[in-house]
Amino acid sequence: MITLAILASANGTNAQAIIEAVRDGSLDARVALVFTNREDAGVIARARKYGIPVEVIPSKGHKDRAEYDALVVETLRRYDVDTVALAGWMRILSEVFVSAFEGRILNLHPALLPSFKGATAISDAYGHGVRITGCSVHLVTPELDAGPVIIQAAVPVNGTIDELEAQIHRMEHRIFPQALQWFAEGRIDVDGHKVIVAPARHKVKKIDYMEGCLVSPALETKV
């Protein structure tokens, strides 16, 4: 089991998906706290609804990113956190943060990395006219959106940008808890830049296609 901190800057639907996966037994984790850098973030109410501790430290007013990240790391240490989930964390991490939890930070990105990095990935992909985009969960390294990819969902670009965004978010809610569960089970290994997910130790049903989207590696449900 992992002791998890969820970092989110906005509405918090992915944080809620993680919390619900813990509650229904599909994710072997304890959510120690939800941390946000915005006092008006929707994730605060979502976390409190489930009785999850919330810590808020506004990111404005600090001299640099490293100074702020040192405060975040100090807060997470107080909760004995060993794994960090970035679920819509709208800040670039400094070396201070990455080194504190090296190899134990997972980030969710709304595109098929390494394409369309950065905060405007969905609109960039849509504006570029791609036929397929999606979402990725990757291990965090000092370089932005460049860490080894654990799992991806490929989403066809159909309809409006709002419809695309909604479909990407639905797939995010499925792949992030799955990646965290593989991490909790100790099944993730990194060979160079490639992530290898070890076979399940128990019988599982694999789902590699859902809602018109391809998921790789396949999602797993216990049998």
C-alpha neighbours within 13 Å on the C-beta side of residue 140? 26
pLDDT at 222: 85
Measured in residues, the chain has a length of: 223
Shared domain check, 24 and 84: yes
Query: Do you find a cis peptide bond into 114, omega within 30 degrees of 0?
Result: yes
126-157: pLDDT as tens digits: 999 999 999 999 999 999 999 999 999 999 99
E-strand ranges in the chain read 2-7, 29-36, 54-56, 83-86, 105-109, 132-139, 149-156, 188-191, 194-197, 204-210, 213-222
pLDDT in tens, 99-127: 999 999 999 999 999 999 999 999 999 99
Q: What is the pLDDT of residue 221?
A: 94
Spell out a b/e string for 54-79, using b for 16 or more CB atoms within 10 Å of the CB, else e.
ebeeebeeeeebeebbbebbebbeeb
109 has catalytic annotation: yes
Domain boundary among 102, 119, 152: 102
Choosing from 62, 109, 193, 202, which is the catalytic residue? 109
Residue pLDDT, tens place only, 160-195? 999 999 999 999 999 999 999 999 999 999 999 999
> Are residue 155 and residue 208 in the same domain, yes or no?
yes
What's the one-letter identity of residue 76? L
Q: What is the pLDDT of residue 67?
A: 94
In the predicted structure, residue 62 carries a pLDDT above the cut 90: no
Q: Counting Cβ atoms within 10 Å, is residue 116 exposed (0-12), middle (13-18) or buried (19+)?
A: buried
Both tokens assigned to 203: 């019988």
| CATH (domain of 32) | 3.40.50.170
Averaged pLDDT, 59-77:
92
Last residue in a domain, options 69, 102, 135: 102
**pLDDT tens digits, 199-215:** 999 899 999 999 999 99
Question: Residues 75, 175: one domain?
Answer: no
pLDDT, position 60: 85
Are 121 and 55 members of one domain?
no
Q: 116 Cβ partners below 8 Å, 6+ apart?
A: 124, 125, 128, 133
Give the rounded percent of residues in the chain with a pLDDT score beyond 90: 95
Tell me the C-alpha distance between 133 and 93, whole Å. 25
Q: Is 117 found in the same domain as 216?
A: yes
- What residues make up the domain containing 83? 1-102
Instruction: Give the number of domains in the chain.
Output: 2
Angstrom distance (rounded) from CA 114 to CA 138: 10
φ, ψ for residue 84, nearest 5 deg: -120, 130
Q: State the pTM of this model.
A: 0.96
57 and 143, same domain (yes or no): no
